[in-house]
Amino acid sequence: MIEPLEQLRSTLQDHGQSLTRPRKKVFTTLQAKGPLTMAELIQASGTSLDRASVYRTIKLYEQLGIVQRLQIGWKYRVELSNSFQHHHHHMYCTQCGNVIAMPEDTVLEERLQALAANISFSAQDHQIEIRGICANCSRT
């Protein structure tokens, strides 16, 4: 498997772009912290990055398929696309707003493919969001 940062560098290079420090920072922040709202991403990227450059980077990353948007709750979040991390589903806590990745399940994935294929639909991608209350919130 190729090192994600190397893959990022070559994806950018293929489109005549270089891996600048802000671009690297946005990528590694998403790698470490999973799906984030733009506000969370700007905060997590640290003070060295301004709002505008985070927005510019995300716009470029969306165009190049490096990140994808998730509609979770009432705000969209961005996360690395399936080319850069394993496919997974999300659980969204309606109380604290936390987003938790669901463990992969090959039976479920095959089942979804089969259901789509049954009606002659060739599925390329999907997102699944389960809403509810997380373990932390149900404890209190």
- By the criterion CB under 5 A, which residues form the site for Zn ion? 93, 95-96, 98, 134, 137
Closest separation in Å from C-beta 89 to Zn ion? 5
- Is the Cβ of residue 24 or residue 69 nearer to Zn ion in the bound state? 69
CB of 135 to Zn ion, least distance (A): 8
Minimum CB separation of residue 45 from Zn ion in Å reads 24
In whole angstroms, the minimum distance from the beta carbon of 138 to Zn ion comes to: 8
Q: Which is nearer to Zn ion, 6 or 105 (CB)?
A: 105
- Cβ distance to Zn ion smaller for residue 5 or 137: 137
User: Residue 5 or residue 116: which is nearer to Zn ion going by CB?
Assistant: 116
Three-state SS letters, the chain? CCCHHHHHHHHHHHCCCCCCHHHHHHHHHHHHHCCECHHHHHHHCCCCCCHHHHHHHHHHHHHCCCEEEEEECCEEEEEECCCCCCCCEEEEECCCCCEEEECCCHHHHHHHHHHHHHCCCCCCCCCCEEEECCHHHHHC
